[in-house]
Structure 1
Amino acid sequence: MKRLVARLWRLMRGSLQWRVLWVAHAKFVVGVTGVVRNEGGEVLLLKHRLWSPRHPWGLPTGFAAKGEEFSATVVREVKEETGLDVVAGRLVRVRSGYRLRVEVAYEAVYVGGTLRIDPFEILEARWFRADELPTGLQEAHRELIRGIEPS
């Protein structure tokens, strides 16, 4: 049976193979998070309007656009949400398993810009030391912050 399936697969080729894969597998959105630090090692946290009132604080986060490199998503999302400019660094986490979402996280470094929050999504933006994180911070984001030492 396996040989028959393998033979049929090879005969299909190209776009037909991709259609079968598309139907057979889950579709994912990619959430991208930035662990943004300033020159003093403080981390940028945002109080998100659209998140749970019990856990509104978190890192800058957003969904990757189709065809967008994930490191570019960090740069874009931070700019859109805060007006700040960052440079994305190394990839620090990739996880799947939360329904149809894949989570990706990058280190990032603040390089300039003027703080100007997006009032639709963000209530407040502040820099925090790793030992003074606010209550109401997403636990997964707390783990990211504590797991990445400032360079």
Structure 2
Amino acid sequence: MKKDRGKVWLGVAGVVINSEGKWLVVKKTYSGLKGVWSLPAGFVKFGETADEAVVREVKEETGLDCEVTGLIGLRTGVIRHEISDNMAIFYCQPMDEHQSFTIQEKEISEVKWLTVEELVHGGEASVMLREMASHELKNHQLMKNEGINPGDVFEYSSYKLFFNKGI
């Protein structure tokens, strides 16, 4: 599973919201996100743009086709004082929100549509997901959140989350 990505990583995540306002979330089978709700996400591959990568990752992890309609923000951190870990977070719309899910079984144990309330207060969402959902992404203001600890398992020596308050 571990690949040589060098010391600068670029990942992508998709905030896919359906017509009922529910967010598309996944439970990973590995890493510090194992067993908690998080966004469909992964790394940008050679020869693809970040927006192409997020469409691919959403499709690979959930089976859902989507299109990118905006950039929500950036999560950036440094792991163990040496690895620059960056993630572009895109707003995506489902092409067909009633499409059935196809789980990427090696990486994903569950896929679901959840309300903002369930994400914020359900107790099973990742720190980043809960932080984003709690601000409801409404006011279109760029926010910088520092002092957030996504969990000691990740070993971040620095962690910042930039995102728009609104979509």
* Structure 1 and Structure 2 fold alike (TM over 0.5): yes
Aligned counterparts, 1:2-151, within 5 A: 27-52=7-32, 56-99=36-79, 100-112=84-96, 113-133=99-119, 134-147=122-135, 148-149=137-138
Deviation of 1:55 after TM superposition, in Å, equals 5.6
Q: Which runs of 5 or more structure 2 residues have no equivalent in the other structure? A: 1-5, 139-165
Structure index of larger Rg: 1
Aligned to 1:132, the other structure's residue is in SS state helix
* Normalised TM-score (structure 1): 0.74
- Larger displacement relative to structure 2 (29-38 or 48-57): 48-57
Tell me the number of residue pairs that the alignment of Structure 1 and Structure 2 aligns: 126
- Write the deviation string for residues 37-93 of structure 1: whole angstroms up to 9, x where unpaired: 111110011011013377621010100112321111111001001110011121111
Which structure shows the higher helix fraction?
1
Unaligned runs of 5+ in 1: 1-25
Secondary structure in 2 aligned to 1:131?
Answer: helix
TM-score, normalised to structure 2, is 0.67
Instruction: Please give the alpha-carbon distance, in whole angstroms, between the structure 2 residues aligned to 1:69 and 1:87.
Output: 14
RMSD: 2.1
Percent of aligned pairs with the same amino acid: 33
